[in-house]
Amino acid sequence: MLNRFFGQKPQEDPKQNPGTAQERAERNPEAEQRLGFLGRTRQFFSRMSQTVQENDTLTEELWDELLESLLAADVGPNTSMWLIDRLRQRAEEEQMRTGSQVQRALREELTSLLDQPSPLRFSKQSPLTVFLVIGVNGSGKTTSIAKMAHLLTREGHKVTLAAADTFRAAAIDQLKVWGERIGVPVISQSPNSDPGAVVYDAIQAALTRGSDVLIVDTAGRLHTKNNLMEELKKLNKIIQKFVPDGPHELLIVIDATTGQNALLQARTFAANIGLTGVIITKIDGTAKGGFAFAVADDLGVPIKFIGTGEKVGDLIPFEPKSFVEALFT
Ligand SMILES: Nc1nc2c(ncn2[C@@H]2O[C@H](COP(=O)(O)OP(=O)(O)OP(=O)(O)O)[C@@H](O)[C@H]2O)c(=O)[nH]1
């Protein structure tokens, strides 16, 4: 009877019967550690499957309950409704009768929503790769930049950071503190100086010291679309003088705990500013990992990383397949 809808039977196959967190950790310690942050979301998805399993057949109530569960997991209204329509259509076309068939289809649809893994794009023609990072205050932008710098340094890159979020003195200081902590130089000027001048300086500094990666912390004031576009245009122009194929990524940092609101803001910009990727932060603090599906679907740009905690090592490259698998195991 266990998980009729999601087709899990109590048997030995670890894929079918995931066991306790401890059992899973013993079977595959590395995977469990990497995806351990999904604990609360996992519980949520398993509760969702249990709620649905109380239905014997694929009834209207079952679809309603599934829709409610997807919404509660923060998959978002558009994406949730699209998923239900799609699953209903498939259930009819493929004459699905059992919960396990629907479960398989749900997993497939969730996986394809997230698209392929999308590693960072590095320059093929210039010695310097430039990543621009935007995001509202408090989204975890500065922390994520430090985490990225740390990750790239560990992979053998030589990273420089540019503190081009010059509107707030605290933001500059915070990046400097991180820079010292992870041993990466931070190029900055006094508060309220021109972000373009900071980027100019940072490019010179990066090229002089032989850095191959420059990460720019930009203000990215999302509520003033024109300002943001103007600022990005200016920065692009300066970057392209020295790095013609740059910037190589324009990443937005989105806080998972602010859910659909943050998404709404980001959606306004996604189309206009040539966003190339998303970093979702604080996914560890919520039971709402479903937010990732809404982000990928609504913004139409790949998720590059997920922030899984406050420590510098708490950033993992996003792998759609293992993410979905983890939710269902
Ligand atoms: N749990 C958790 N906390 C995070 C994560 N990323 C950032 N934080 C915390 O979120 C808070 C805000 O992060 P910042 O990096 O300062 O955010 P910011 O967007 O630069 O915001 P300002 O400093 O206000 O410009 C800090 O307390 C971080 O430690 C994450 O992935 N998980």
Residue among 120, 164, 60, 48 at smallest CA distance from 279: 120
Q: Are residues 202 and 62 in the same domain?
A: no
Encode the chain (329 residues) as per-residue pLDDT tens digits.
Answer: 222 222 232 333 344 444 555 555 555 555 555 666 677 777 777 766 665 555 557 888 878 888 888 888 888 899 999 999 999 999 999 988 777 778 788 888 988 898 788 899 999 999 999 999 998 888 899 999 999 999 999 999 999 999 999 888 888 999 999 999 999 999 999 998 999 999 999 999 999 999 999 999 997 665 556 677 888 889 999 999 999 999 999 999 999 888 777 787 788 777 777 889 999 999 887 767 788 898 888 888 899 999 988 999 999 999 888 888 877 76
Give yes or no for residue 143 CB within 6 A of ligand 1.
Answer: yes
Distance CA 225, CA 233 (A): 12
Give yes or no for residue 302 CB within 6 A of ligand 1.
Answer: no
Give yes or no for residue 142 CB within 6 A of ligand 1.
Answer: yes
Angle, to 10 degrees, between the axis of helix 77-93 and the axis of helix 99-114?
A: 130
Is 165 annotated as a binding-site member?
A: no
CATH number for the domain that contains residue 40: 1.20.120.140
Between the CA of 170 and the centroid of ligand 1 the distance, in Å, is 13
CATH number for the domain that contains residue 270: 3.40.50.300
Strand order in the sheet with 315-317: 186-187, 159-164, 213-218, 129-134, 249-255, 277-281, 303-307, 315-317
β-bridge pairing 186-187 and 159-164: parallel
Q: Are residues 167 and 93 in the same domain?
A: no
Q: Are residues 163 and 292 in the same domain?
A: yes
What pTM, to 2 d.p., does this model score? Answer: 0.85
